[in-house]
C-alpha cells in the first residue's frame, strides 16, 4: 500500500513538474495556425494579421497553413486530430458552429473537440454583385433576383462557408431558389465576380471593401443592424426591408482538446496583446471590422459564443434541409 501511494505521489509530482516546465518554456518552437480556407480569402486575411503580431509576443513564429475544403471541416479536422501540445491551432469563423448541424458525420465534435482560446473579430458582410448588374438599389435587387431566379448565379466558398450561410439567408429572403456556384474559397469567387462570370455574392467586408471602393464590384447592402463607417451611403438589409438577412462572421482561435491550460492561457495572452495593438485595429478598421475586446478574447467567452451559435443555427439549417453529407 505504501509503495502504491508513493508511486502515485511520484506520478503527480512528475505531472506537476512537466506542467511547470511547459509554463516556463512554451513556446520553444514555431506554431502552426491552420486556416481552413484558401489563401487570399477574408479569414486568411484576419489570420495573417493576428499571427504576425502574436508571433512577436510569443517570441516564436506562427506559420499560417491553408487547409481548405469541405466548408472548413478538413482543416478543422486536422487540428482536432493534432497533438494537443499548443503547437497547432485553428483560426475558424462562424462555420465552426454551423458545421455541427450541416455535417452529420463529422469525425470530430465542434463543441467538444477543441480548447477555445478566444474571439478574434466579428466581421460584417456585404451583398455585392458584378459591377454592371442592372438594379440600382437593394430593394430593386431583391425584386430583380426573385423575377430572374432561374438565371441569376450566386457564388460561395462551399457548403458551410460564411458566404454559403449568408446566401442561404438571402434565398430565404427572396423566397426563391438561386443557382449557386461553389468555389474553393472566396478569393477565387471574387475573381469570377470581378470578371462578370458570376452575378452575386454575400461576403465579408475583409474581402469586399477594397473592391467596392475601387468600383470593380457593386455593393448593395450591409448585413449589420447599423450602417458601417466605411460605407456610410450603403443601406443595411433591414433598411431595405429584409431584417432577417442580418448576419456577421465571428472568428475564433482554437487549440485541440486536451491542450494544457498553461499553453491555452499563453496563447490567449498573446491574442489579447495582438488585438490591443493599434496597428491591428487600424488595419481591421480599413476592412470594415474591429478587434474583439480583451474580455471576449478569452477561452470562456469563445466557448459561450460557440455554444450559443450552434444552438442558433441548428433550427435554421434543419428548416432549410440543406446538409453537406
Written in H, E and C, the secondary structure of 267-315 is HHHHHHHHHCCHHHHHHHHHCCCCECCCCCCCHHHHHHHHHHHHHHHHH
pLDDT at 7: 57
pTM of the predicted model as reported, rounded to 2 decimal places: 0.79
Q: Which helix (H) or strand (E) holds 193?
A: helix 186-195
Asked if residues 178 and 154 have their Cβ atoms less than 8 Å apart, the reply is yes
pLDDT of residue 254: 98
pLDDT digits (tens, 9 = 90+) for 147-183: 999 999 999 987 777 888 899 889 989 998 899 999 8
| C-alpha to C-alpha distance for 105 and 168, rounded to whole angstroms | 21
Among candidate residues 54, 119, 127, the one with its CA nearest the CA of residue 93: 119
Is it the case that residue 211 has pLDDT exceeding 90? yes
List the grid coordinates of 245.
438577412
- What is the dotted CATH code of the domain comprising 125-245? 3.40.190.10
- CATH no., domain 2-123+249-320: 3.40.190.150
Instruction: Write out the three cell numbers for 49.
Output: 494579421
| Closest CA relative to residue 43, chosen from 21, 84, 71 | 71
Q: Are 228 and 288 in contact (CB under 8 A)?
A: yes
Residue 26 has pLDDT above 90, yes or no: yes
Q: Report, as an integer, the average pLDDT of 218-230.
A: 94
- For 276-316, the pLDDT digits (tens) are 999 999 999 888 889 999 999 999 999 999 999 999 889 88
Q: Output helix, strand, coil percentages for the chain, rounded to the nearest 5.
A: 45, 20, 35
Q: What is the pLDDT of residue 150?
A: 93
* Beta-strand runs (E) in the chain: 31-35, 62-66, 88-92, 114-130, 153-156, 179-182, 200-204, 217-222, 248-256
Higher pLDDT: 9 or 65? It is 65
Residue 71 pLDDT: 82
Residue 22 confidence (pLDDT): 52
Q: pLDDT tier at 232 (50, 70, 90 boundaries)?
A: very high
| Alpha carbons 29 and 94: distance in angstroms, whole number | 29
Looking at the chain, the domain(s) classified CATH 3.40.190.150 span: 2-123+249-320
Radius of gyration of the chain (CA): 21
Residues 209, 201: Cα–Cα separation, whole Å: 13
Q: What is the mean pLDDT of residues 122-140?
A: 96
As annotated, the residues of the chain forming the CATH 3.40.190.10 domain(s) are: 125-245
Amino acid at each position: 500500500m505504501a509503495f502504491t501511494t508513493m508511486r502515485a505521489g511520484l506520478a503527480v509530482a512528475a505531472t506537476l513538474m512537466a506542467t511547470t516546465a511547459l509554463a516556463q518554456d512554451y513556446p520553444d518552437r514555431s506554431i502552426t495556425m491552420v486556416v481552413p480556407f484558401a489563401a487570399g480569402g477574408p479569414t486568411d486575411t484576419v489570420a495573417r494579421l493576428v499571427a504576425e503580431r502574436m508571433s512577436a509576443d510569443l517570441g516564436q513564429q506562427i506559420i499560417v497553413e491553408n487547409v481548405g475544403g469541405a466548408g472548413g471541416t478538413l482543416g478543422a479536422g486536422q487540428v482536432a486530430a493534432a497533438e494537443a501540445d499548443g503547437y497547432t491551432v485553428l483560426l475558424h469563423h462562424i462555420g465552426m458552429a454551423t458545421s455541427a448541424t450541416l455535417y452529420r458525420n463529422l469525425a470530430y465534435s465542434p463543441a467538444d473537440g477543441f480548447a477555445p482560446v478566444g474571439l478574434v473579430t466579428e466581421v460584417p458582410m456585404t451583398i455585392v454583385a458584378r459591377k454592371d448588374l442592372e438594379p440600382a438599389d437593394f430593394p430593386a435587387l431583391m425584386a430583380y433576383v426573385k423575377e430572374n431566379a432561374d438565371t441569376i448565379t450566386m457564388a460561395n466558398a462551399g457548403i458551410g462557408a460564411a458566404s454559403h450561410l449568408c446566401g442561404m439567408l438571402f434565398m430565404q429572403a427572396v423566397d426563391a431558389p438561386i443557382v449557386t456556384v461553389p468555389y474553393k474559397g472566396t478569393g477565387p469567387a471574387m475573381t469570377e465576380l470581378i470578371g462578370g462570370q458570376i452575378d452575386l455574392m454575400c461576403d465579408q467586408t475583409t474581402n469586399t471593401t477594397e473592391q467596392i471602393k475601387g468600383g470593380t464590384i457593386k455593393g448593395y447592402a450591409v448585413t449589420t443592424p447599423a450602417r458601417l463607417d466605411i460605407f456610410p451611403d450603403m443601406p443595411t438589409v433591414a433598411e431595405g426591408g429584409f431584417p432577417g438577412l442580418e448576419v456577421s462572421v465571428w472568428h475564433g482561435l482554437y487549440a485541440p482538446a486536451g491542450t494544457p491550460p498553461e499553453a491555452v492561457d499563453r496563447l490567449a495572452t498573446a491574442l489579447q496583446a495582438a488585438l490591443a495593438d493599434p496597428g491591428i485595429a487600424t488595419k481591421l478598421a480599413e476592412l470594415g471590422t474591429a478587434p474583439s475586446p480583451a474580455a471576449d478574447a478569452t477561452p470562456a467567452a469563445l466557448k459561450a459564443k460557440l455554444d450559443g451559435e450552434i444552438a442558433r443555427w441548428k433550427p435554421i439549417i434543419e428548416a432549410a434541409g440543406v446538409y453537406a453529407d
